[in-house]
């Protein structure tokens, strides 16, 4: 899909959360190479939802907990009410998959029921950044 825009953001387990400028209705691939405290997981999940993430794919350490945190943040943002399709936040965990498979799924299959999500954010949670390798891996998927 050549009309896709890719962004990369590296966070350490103790990073402050920056403003996500220029993003609206986007996919996020959470690449969790480092464990984080539960409070940070919740803060990051709320921050993603508040920033316009409408589809989150979690891979790596504690990916099932990441999926749950994003889903709970979306419910919280909707005040635990039913939300129309246009406001839904979808979340998936990819515990038993290779990262290449997750990137392929994000590029070719992950779709929102109400929006064309033209931007994908690779949110890399690790001690050190790895932008070039992850972006190359994503583009090869």
Is residue 17, in this structure, part of any structural domain at all? no
User: Is there a contact between 28 and 120 (Cβ–Cβ < 8 Å)?
Assistant: yes
For 4-43, the pLDDT digits (tens) are: 799 999 999 999 999 988 888 999 999 999 999 999 999 9
Q: Tally the domains of the chain.
A: 1
Is residue 18, in this structure, part of any structural domain at all? no
Is residue 16, in this structure, part of any structural domain at all? no
CA distance 74 to 68: 10
CATH code for the domain in which residue 77 is found: 3.90.190
Tell whether the torsion through CA atoms of 121, 126, 127 and 129 is positive or negative. Answer: negative
Q: Residue 122: name the closest of 5, 2, 1, 39 by CA.
A: 5
- Helices 63-77 and 38-51: crossing angle, nearest 10°? 50
Domain extent at residue 79: 5-11+23-140
* Measured CA angle at 17 (ends 112, 84), to 5 deg: 25
Contacts of 131 (CB under 8 A, 6+ apart): 8, 10, 124
Q: How confident is the model at residue 3 (pLDDT cuts 50, 70, 90)?
A: low
For 85-127, the pLDDT digits (tens) are: 888 999 999 999 999 999 999 999 999 999 999 999 999 999 9
**Which pTM was predicted?**
0.95
Is residue 29, in this structure, part of any structural domain at all? yes
> Considering the chain, what percentage of its residues have pLDDT values greater than 70?
98
Is residue 113, in this structure, part of any structural domain at all? yes
């Amino acid at each position: 899909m050549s009309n896709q825009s890719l962004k990369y953001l590296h966070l350490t387990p103790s990073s402050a959360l920056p403003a996500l400028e220029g993003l609206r209705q986007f996919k996020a691939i959470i690449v969790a190479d480092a464990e984080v405290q539960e409070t940070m997981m919740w803060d990051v999940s709320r921050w993603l939802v508040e920033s316009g993430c409408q589809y989150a794919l979690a891979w790596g350490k504690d990916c099932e907990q990441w999926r749950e945190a994003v889903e709970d943040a979306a419910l919280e943002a909707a005040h635990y009410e039913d939300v129309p399709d246009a406001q839904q936040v979808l979340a998936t965990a990819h515990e038993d998959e290779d990262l290449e498979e997750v990137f392929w799924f994000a590029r070719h299959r992950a779709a929102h029921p109400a929006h064309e999500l033209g931007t994908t954010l690779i949110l890399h949670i690790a001690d050190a950044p790895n932008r070039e390798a992850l972006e190359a891996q994503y583009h090869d998927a």
